Amino acid sequence: MSVPDKKHRGKGVGGVLFCLSALRFGDDFKLKSLYCQPKFDNPMPNNMLRKIGFHLLGKVEWKHPTNGSLVRQNRYLVAIDLAKKYLNTQTSDYTFTLRLL
């Protein structure tokens, strides 16, 4: 997930959209949690996940099946309850935020 328009970056839109997506997955599949594994050297998703409060479980390394390159990722536990809590603490109007995109 990314916020392609630079004028909307750094305003919490990504965190709100991520949490809304997590809630949707939780509702649709009856999940209490799921995992998110951004590349370890990509600061934007890692910073967002930490800011929301999701727990870093550790690092994961695996070989890409197509080109054999080593892929390094951070693994976060995305708790649905924490996503709800984060959304409830945001002061922005989510409907307005979604309309901006």
Q: State residue 12's pLDDT score.
A: 78
Q: State residue 101's pLDDT score.
A: 44
Global confidence as pTM? 0.81
Q: State residue 9's pLDDT score.
A: 73
Q: State residue 94's pLDDT score.
A: 54
Amino acid type, 56 = L
DSSP assignments along 46-73, one per residue = HHHHHHHTPEEEEEEEEE-TTT--EEEE
Task: Indicate left, alpha or beta for 51 from its phi (over 0: left) and psi (-120 to 50: alpha).
Answer: alpha
Q: Which domains does the chain have, with CATH numbers?
A: 6-100 (3.40.630.30)
Q: Hey, what are 39's tokens?
A: 């590349």
Give me the tens of pLDDT residue by residue for the chain, a chain 101 residues long.
Answer: 666 677 767 777 888 889 999 999 999 999 999 999 999 999 999 999 999 999 999 999 999 999 999 999 999 999 999 999 998 887 555 555 555 44
Q: State residue 69's pLDDT score.
A: 96
